[in-house]
């Protein structure tokens, strides 16, 4: 089903607009001829390069670029590199780029964490229980240590893992033992967070590693350094510092902007700045400044994954996902868009300058022409946040003609691993056993993660269509990143959506009060899913390793390199992953066969390629069904009520007499 809409204004050609709200805003925008990514895609006179799309364009030296055609001797590289070498090199570099973004994000979190523990930043250690759990999981003795001293020790140990050259990463030890042994056997256990990026860049330099399989092993190692290293570090320490998410209601879509408040959108991926803005927005000094200009307060709204961070922990609304960032500004109702790093289109500067909106960059790594730059420093976080908000307040009286759509949707977010554990088992018996039991008895078919970006080149709301089909088939769906926002816009992140779930899934989730799709956070928070999968294995009944779980992942509209890095650390952890509608290795038959087939023999999980929602769902449900069959739980068993005679026939020890210490 094609849920996209076409937008036509004036004499412009028709443009694909993926959401109803985008269409509504652009139709009513107070400024004519606003150009967005949708217009740029529609206006291109040529299709994407097939060599680049299939991964067989090589520009790693100055004798090229070389366009390689698989199997054609005359179309190998000048150096002799064939399609398999070039595709594997390019894939490895994509993984390196994506993993590096998460690694640098995590480094910033650790630096802020240490500053907080030392009393040098305005944040606090909010989750002392999780701090102790994290400390014990990485081998630190927690006895007789203050919260601050323990946090410093945790921060320093994890910071050292970024630069270490040998050994292993602490959080890798959380993986099931068979998985750790496999990584050791394959020689792909990550040694240090940054170490693996350097090696990938060296190996893919002209004239170094030229064997596709060897290159792909290093890509796997680098991805593991992301998922079980950097991303997990970022998520765990963010939880300790800012609070572990719990279920919280909020709203998503552009309609969360407010007429009578100063609208400040925060866009990017790092939670440190957003947390400071949230603190400053409640400051009496800032509220008084708002009154002076006739505003009721600050309306802080997220865009992209920073939005998911502040939604999960604070309940701040999300104005838009990646494909909405320009359109949010096209309302003319935003006083300031504050950005840090990753997924920020340069064109937001051009859209902002057509209004009173000030675009403010805050990371020295990420400046944009035409933007105001205010360098963020966690040691002065609150002062800088106030300075930013005061600039936004001054813009409020300049707000001219604008259009704020009514459309927004209720969501429930905040489903961290800890929350799921608690909701299933309660405070004293927190456990994944109810989930495992209901997968075993067939009420829940399995678990699927829909993650990643949204993409202007994909004309269908793939996330939504796939999620609807999966929950109708009794599959519990986990979502992160822009996929979560996309699905949230349609109401699937609310318990009210349970009427769209299959009878088994609905019965289980109604009992615990969960929506059929669980929002687990930003793209860096995919590490939560790794922890959840490991906990399902540890709980028992569904195999001894992650690859045996009735679980699957998908990124139907992937856009960034990060998505590929995430996909590879899931595949390397034993999970089948479906990407689409394109994949950057299809120009090589050998590498395609390795990724789509042979990786299954190596890791227990492999890549899959799909183009339409129905193809995604078929692959995902078939994968879950095969895992159920392999576990021997594919056939529904009738419940049997045992009488006393049947119990005696089991030959188990006699049931003790009634008493406080007896065990049934």
| Displacement of CA 144 from its chain's centroid (Å) | 36
Which backbone phi and psi does 208 adopt, to 5 degrees?
Answer: -110, -105
For residue 595, say whether it is annotated as part of any ligand binding site. Answer: no
Question: What angle in degrees, to the nearest 10, is found between the helix axes of 195-203 and 212-225?
Answer: 160
Which backbone phi and psi does 516 adopt, to 5 degrees?
Answer: -75, -15
Give kind and range of the element (H or E) at residue 485.
helix 481-488
Q: How far is 391 from 375, CA to CA, in rounded Å?
A: 15
Query: Residue 545 is encoded by which pair of tokens?
Result: 């390793």
Radius of gyration over every alpha carbon of the chain, rounded to an integer in angstroms: 25
For residue 61, say whether it is annotated as part of any ligand binding site. Answer: yes
Residue pair 580/611 in contact by the 8 Å Cβ criterion: yes
For residue 660, say whether it is annotated as part of any ligand binding site. Answer: no
CA-based nearest residue to 75, from 85, 66, 86: 66
Residue pair 267/344 in contact by the 8 Å Cβ criterion: yes
Residue pair 227/566 in contact by the 8 Å Cβ criterion: yes
CA distances from 270 to 39, 101, 266, 369, 415 (A): 29, 11, 10, 21, 19
Query: Residue 266 is encoded by which pair of tokens?
Result: 């925060």
User: Collapsing DSSP states into helix, strand and coil, what is residue 448?
Assistant: strand
Q: For residue 265, list its beta bridge partners.
A: 301, 337
Residue pair 348/326 in contact by the 8 Å Cβ criterion: yes
For residue 343, say whether it is annotated as part of any ligand binding site. Answer: yes
For residue 514, say whether it is annotated as part of any ligand binding site. Answer: no
Question: What angle in degrees, to the nearest 10, is found between the helix axes of 561-572 and 212-225?
Answer: 100
CB atoms within 10 A of CB 227: 28
Give kind and range of the element (H or E) at residue 349.
helix 347-352
CB atoms within 10 A of CB 244: 20
Contacts of 598 (CB under 8 A, 6+ apart): 606
Query: Residue 89 is encoded by which pair of tokens?
Result: 């090199």
For residue 57, say whether it is annotated as part of any ligand binding site. Answer: yes
Contacts of 288 (CB under 8 A, 6+ apart): none
For residue 290, say whether it is annotated as part of any ligand binding site. Answer: no
CB atoms within 10 A of CB 463: 35
Which backbone phi and psi does 410 adopt, to 5 degrees?
Answer: -65, 140
Edge-to-edge strands, sheet with 298-303? 372-373, 358-361, 336-339, 262-267, 298-303, 318-320, 248-252, 409-413
Residue pair 478/570 in contact by the 8 Å Cβ criterion: no
Query: Residue 78 is encoded by which pair of tokens?
Result: 């000048």
For residue 608, say whether it is annotated as part of any ligand binding site. Answer: no
Q: How far is 38 from 520, CA to CA, in rounded Å?
A: 28
CA distances from 180 to 28, 55, 134, 228, 605 (A): 55, 31, 19, 11, 15
Q: How far is 362 from 533, CA to CA, in rounded Å?
A: 36
CA distances from 524 to 71, 104, 205, 334, 636 (A): 39, 11, 28, 27, 37
Scanning the structure block, which residue is given the tokens 């803005």? 277
CA distances from 497 to 464, 502, 510, 511, 516 (A): 12, 11, 11, 14, 7
List the binding residues for [Ni-4Fe-4S] cluster: 269, 305, 343, 453, 482, 523
List the binding residues for [4Fe-4S] cluster: 49, 57-58, 61, 66, 79
List the binding residues: 49, 57-58, 61, 66, 79, 269, 305, 343, 453, 482, 523
């Amino acid at each position: 089903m094609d849920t996209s809409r076409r937008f036509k204004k004036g004499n412009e050609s028709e443009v694909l607009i993926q959401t109803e709200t985008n269409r509504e805003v652009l139709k009513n925008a107070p400024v004519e001829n606003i150009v967005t990514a949708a217009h740029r895609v529609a206006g291109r006179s040529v299709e994407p390069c097939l060599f680049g799309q299939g991964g067989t364009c090589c520009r790693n030296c100055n004798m090229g670029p070389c366009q390689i055609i698989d199997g054609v001797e005359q179309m190998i590289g000048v150096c002799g590199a064939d399609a398999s070498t070039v595709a594997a090199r390019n894939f490895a570099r994509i993984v390196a780029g994506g993993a590096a973004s998460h690694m640098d994000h995590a480094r910033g979190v650790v630096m802020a964490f240490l500053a907080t523990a030392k009393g040098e930043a305005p944040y606090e250690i909010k989750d002392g229980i999780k701090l102790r759990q994290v400390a014990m999981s990485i081998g630190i003795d927690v006895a007789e240590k203050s919260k601050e001293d323990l946090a410093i020790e945790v921060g320093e140990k994890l910071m050292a893992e970024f630069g270490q050259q040998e050994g292993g990463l602490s959080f890798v030890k959380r993986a099931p033992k068979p998985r750790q042994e496999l990584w050791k056997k394959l020689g792909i256990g990550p040694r240090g967070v940054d170490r693996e990026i350097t090696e990938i860049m060296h190996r893919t330099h002209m004239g170094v590693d030229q064997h596709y399989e060897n290159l792909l092993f290093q890509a796997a190692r680098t991805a593991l350094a992301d998922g079980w290293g950097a991303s997990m570090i970022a998520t765990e320490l963010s939880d300790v510092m800012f609070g572990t998410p719990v279920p919280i209601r909020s709203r998503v879509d552009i309609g969360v902007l407010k007429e009578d408040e100063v609208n400040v959108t925060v866009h990017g991926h790092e939670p440190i700045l957003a947390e400071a803005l949230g603190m400053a927005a409640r400051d009496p000094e800032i509220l008084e400044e708002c009154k002076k200009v006739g505003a009721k307060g600050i309306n802080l709204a997220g865009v992209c994954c920073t939005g998911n961070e502040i939604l999960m922990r604070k309940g701040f609304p999300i104005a838009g996902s990646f494909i909405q960032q320009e359109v949010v500004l096209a309302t003319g109702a935003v006083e300031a868009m504050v950005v840090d790093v990753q997924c920020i289109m340069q064109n937001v500067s051009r859209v902002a300058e057509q209004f009173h909106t000030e675009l403010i960059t805050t990371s020295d790594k990420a400046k944009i022409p035409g933007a105001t730059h205010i360098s963020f420093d966690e040691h002065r976080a609150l002062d800088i946040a106030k300075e930013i908000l005061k600039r936004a307040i001054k813009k409020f009286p300049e707000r001219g003609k604008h259009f704020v759509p009514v459309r927004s949707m209720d969501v429930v977010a905040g489903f961290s691993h800890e929350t799921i554990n608690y909701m299933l088992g309660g405070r004293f018996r927190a456990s994944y056993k109810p989930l495992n039991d209901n997968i075993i008895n067939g009420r829940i078919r399995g678990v699927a993660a829909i993650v990643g970006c949204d993409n202007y080149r994909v004309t269908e709301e793939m996330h939504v269509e796939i999620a609807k089909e999966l929950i109708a088939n009794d599959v519990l769906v986990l979502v992160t990143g822009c996929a979560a926002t996309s699905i949230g816009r349609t109401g699937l992140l609310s318990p009210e959506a349970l009427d769209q779930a299959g009878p088994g899934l609905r019965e289980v989730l109604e009992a615990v009060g969960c929506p059929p799709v669980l929002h687990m956070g930003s793209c860096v928070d995919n590490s939560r899913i790794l922890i959840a999968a490991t906990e399902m294995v540890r709980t028992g009944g569904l195999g001894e390793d992650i690859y045996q779980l009735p679980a699957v992942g998908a990124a139907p509209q992937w856009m960034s390199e990060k998505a590929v890095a995430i996909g590879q650390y899931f595949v390397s952890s034993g999970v089948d992953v479906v990407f689409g509608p394109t994949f950057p290795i299809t120009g090589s038959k050998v590498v395609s066969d390795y990724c789509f087939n042979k990786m299954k023999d190596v890791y227990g999980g492999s890549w899959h390629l799909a183009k339409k929602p129905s193809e995604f769902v078929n692959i995902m449900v078939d994968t879950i069904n095969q895992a159920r069959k392999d576990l021997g739980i594919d056939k529904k068993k009738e419940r049997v009520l045992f009488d006393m005679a049947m119990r005696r026939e089991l030959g188990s020890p006699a049931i003790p007499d009634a008493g406080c210490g007896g065990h049934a």
